[in-house]
């Protein structure tokens, strides 16, 4: 173990720091006890006018002069906001991180970036993911930061922060905010998001009153934290842990559990050691780490949104990752976690059962985890999970008694989705996994809302609901509207699922036989734009096929008549977004953000 790991004494930390011999450079590498000067010293280390400016204005906050002595400057990237309720408890966690950084001999400096609240932002938080990644990237590069702690919680805060840090390639560690406590309503456990879809459908079906529905609001969200189902927030917390970007156990500790604060403190300690070890994010985000995350996503019944985000991560660090990888490496992985929306339990139960380390250990023991993948604590994944215990085999199923035999994400191909589409088998209805039905077409989300409750609408349980123009460019931002609600007349008959197809996304908390991320999207002239009312569509999940039963000549006739929709905005950020966003199969990143630009020291400002 390196002498920096687990340093708890400020005196020992000072002695270690003063034993280093510094020389100029951009990084900080270990070569015996010789060290290069950290990038922050390009700001704080000079004896000239520029050094004076950088130090003097910082000292107005009450920092003593010796904090500029060459110790690691740790940026704490905070997404706290009262408009992002999942992250509203981050102020205290940030202080805990700072305590750990100070204790290990670092200099913590907290900085804000745009916070994206999934439940409040319109048209969709996803439209701002790439923008926030730019905020993170440029904040790191422009400032005297040697390493960064990413404070993530609500859905898009995790991918945006990781993408930004990856483009700088500094030592990086993630602290997730943790899930809420389990919801409780009239004696039963209820899950964030999942119960919203269930209860709203029950109101439409006439089996739940409006008053009962409203009464459930405060019962669902009763503590700080993000969704306690396996929605996108919980999924991305599992992804960063399985990628090796967080300390073990990060994914599942409830937000209000004291052990979340302990983890924050330990995260602060650890990031200082990572600087001394030059353990940059590119050393963690290798292809084997991404394949581990794909398998972990299958094992926990994770959100389809992880597909887009991990492909975007890979694009920032130059690691090849495709939809085919998701299908190849996740298809045969069993879903072991019995957690909503795929199963019964919630994230609080998951933590008490052993959390993600217990799931990863099960995968490792059955040859489905690359145990040599490096993680942020300097240990391999195999070392981290070797002693992980499963305390509840109802929540985390035994390997030979899975929730779903083949979980993961099914990647579909066919003339309706030449570049792919995805479906989550663990959340779908088995009887609909092979289906042929007549299309009921909605040209926009507004068109869907206008038609769905029309008593004259010709629709039955065998129909296939098709929603267009909700992809990255079409909506814009690829909103979570793919899990279209069923018409009340079918709900009243007890119908709870139908095949639904769109170029949209859906919330990770949602469920159903929903085909998502159809590529190319309708707005760029993909075949989805050509589907007409009454066309027959065949879905074969096992065969990985999605086929529109229309002759090629007819499709060409329709294409000749098709007119691209006018963009909603012709200036401002939305215009930039529509012009540069790539398709879902490429991670929906901006084309000009691919790759790592590093964190070289910029030119002086004065």
The two tokens of residue 188 are 């039963």
Q: Contact, 486 vs 495, CB < 8 A?
A: yes
Q: Contact, 406 vs 332, CB < 8 A?
A: yes
pTM, two decimal places: 0.93
The two tokens of residue 424 are 């989550």
Which residues, in sequence order, are bridge partners of residue 21?
34
CATH class for the domain made up of 10-39+72-181+223-385: alpha beta
The predicted pLDDT at position 34 comes to: 56
Q: In angstroms, rounded to a whole number, what is the distance separating the alpha carbons of residues 146 and 114?
A: 21
In the sheet that holds 107-112, the strands lie side by side as 107-112, 73-78, 147-152, 172-176
- Which stretches of the chain score pLDDT less than 70? 1-35
Residue 582: DSSP 8-state: P
Please choose, from the candidates 76, 78, 86, the residue with its C-alpha nearest in 3D space to the C-alpha of residue 254. Answer: 86
Residue 480: DSSP 8-state: S
The predicted pLDDT at position 568 comes to: 82
Q: Contact, 599 vs 27, CB < 8 A?
A: no
CATH number (3.40.50.2000, 3.50.30.80, 3.30.420.40, 2.40.50.140) of 411-566 reads: 3.50.30.80
Q: In angstroms, rounded to a whole number, what is the distance separating the alpha carbons of residues 428 and 412?
A: 14
Strands 188-190 and 410-412: unpaired
The two tokens of residue 187 are 């004696």
Q: For the beta carbon of residue 510, count every other beta carbon within 10 angstroms.
A: 23
The two tokens of residue 597 are 């630009």
User: Which residues lie closer than 8 Å to 561 by C-beta, 6 or more apart?
Assistant: none
Residue 45: DSSP 8-state: S
Q: Where in the chain is the domain with CATH 3.50.30.80?
A: 411-566
The two tokens of residue 251 are 């994914």
Q: Where in the chain is the domain with CATH 3.40.50.2300?
A: 10-39+72-181+223-385
Torsion sign over Cα 505, 84, 115, 350? negative
∠ CA 25-28-30, rounded to 5°: 125
């Amino acid at each position: 173990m390196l002498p920096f790991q687990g340093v708890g004494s400020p005196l020992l930390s000072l002695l270690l720091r003063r034993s280093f011999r510094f020389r100029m450079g951009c990084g900080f590498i270990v070569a015996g006890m010789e060290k290069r000067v950290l990038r922050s010293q390009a700001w704080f280390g000079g004896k000239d006018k520029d050094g004076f400016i950088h130090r003097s204005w910082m000292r107005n906050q009450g920092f003593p002069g010796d904090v500029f002595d060459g110790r690691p400057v740790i940026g704490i990237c905070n997404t706290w906001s009262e408009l992002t309720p999942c992250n509203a408890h981050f102020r205290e966690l940030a202080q805990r991180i700072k305590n750990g950084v100070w204790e290990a001999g670092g200099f913590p400096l907290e900085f804000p970036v745009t916070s994206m609240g999934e439940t409040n932002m319109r048209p969709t938080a996803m439209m701002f993911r790439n923008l926030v990644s730019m905020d993170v990237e440029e904040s790191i590069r422009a400032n005297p930061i040697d390493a960064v702690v990413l404070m993530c919680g609500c859905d898009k805060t995790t991918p945006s922060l990781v993408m930004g840090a990856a483009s700088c390639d500094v030592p990086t560690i993630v602290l997730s905010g943790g899930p809420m406590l389990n919801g409780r309503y009239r004696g039963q456990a209820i899950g964030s998001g999942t119960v919203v879809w269930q209860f709203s459908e029950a109101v439409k079906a006439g089996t739940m009153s409006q008053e009962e529905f409203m009464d459930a609001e405060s019962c669902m969200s009763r503590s700080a934290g993000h969704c306690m189902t396996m929605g996108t927030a919980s999924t991305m917390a599992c992804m960063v842990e399985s990628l090796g970007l967080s300390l073990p156990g990060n994914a599942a500790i409830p937000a209000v559990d004291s052990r979340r604060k302990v983890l924050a403190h330990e995260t602060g300690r650890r990031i200082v050691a990572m600087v001394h070890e030059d353990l940059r994010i590119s050393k963690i985000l290798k292809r084997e780490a991404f394949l581990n995350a794909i398998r972990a996503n299958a094992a926990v019944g994770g959100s389809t949104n992880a597909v887009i985000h991990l492909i975007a991560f890979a694009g920032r660090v130059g690691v090849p990752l495709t939809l085919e990888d998701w299908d190849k490496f996740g298809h045969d992985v069993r879903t072991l976690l019995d957690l909503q929306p795929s199963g019964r339990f919630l994230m609080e139960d998951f933590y008490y059962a052993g959390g993600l380390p217990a799931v990863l250990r099960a995968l490792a023991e059955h040859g489905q985890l690359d145990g040599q993948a490096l993680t942020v604590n300097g240990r391999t994944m195999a070392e981290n999970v070797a002693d992980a215990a499963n305390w509840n085999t109802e929540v985390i199923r035994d390997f030979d008694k899975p929730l779903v035999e083949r979980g993961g994400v099914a990647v579909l191909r066919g003339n309706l989705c030449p570049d792919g589409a995805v479906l989550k088998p663990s959340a779908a209805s088995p009887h609909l996994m092979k289906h042929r039905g007549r299309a009921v077409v909605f040209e926009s989300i507004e068109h869907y809302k206008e038609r769905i409750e029309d008593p004259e609408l010709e629709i039955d349980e065998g129909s296939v609901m098709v929603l267009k123009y909700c992809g990255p460019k079409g909506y814009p931002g690829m909103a979570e509207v793919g899990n279209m609600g069923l018409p009340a007349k079918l709900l009243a008959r007890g119908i709870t699922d139908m095949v639904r197809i769109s170029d949209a996304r859906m919330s990770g908390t949602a469920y159903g036989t929903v085909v998502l991320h159809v590529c190319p999207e309708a707005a760029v002239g993909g075949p989805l734009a050509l589907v007409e009312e009454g066309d027959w569509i065949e879905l074969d999940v096992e065969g990985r096929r999605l086929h529109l039963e229309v002759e090629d000549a007819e499709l060409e006739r329709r294409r000749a008549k098709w007119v691209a929709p006018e963009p909603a905005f012709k200036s401002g950020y939305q215009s930039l977004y529509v012009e540069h966003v790539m398709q879902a199969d490429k991670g929906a990143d901006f084309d000009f953000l691919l790759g790592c630009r590093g964190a070289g020291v910029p030119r002086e400002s004065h």
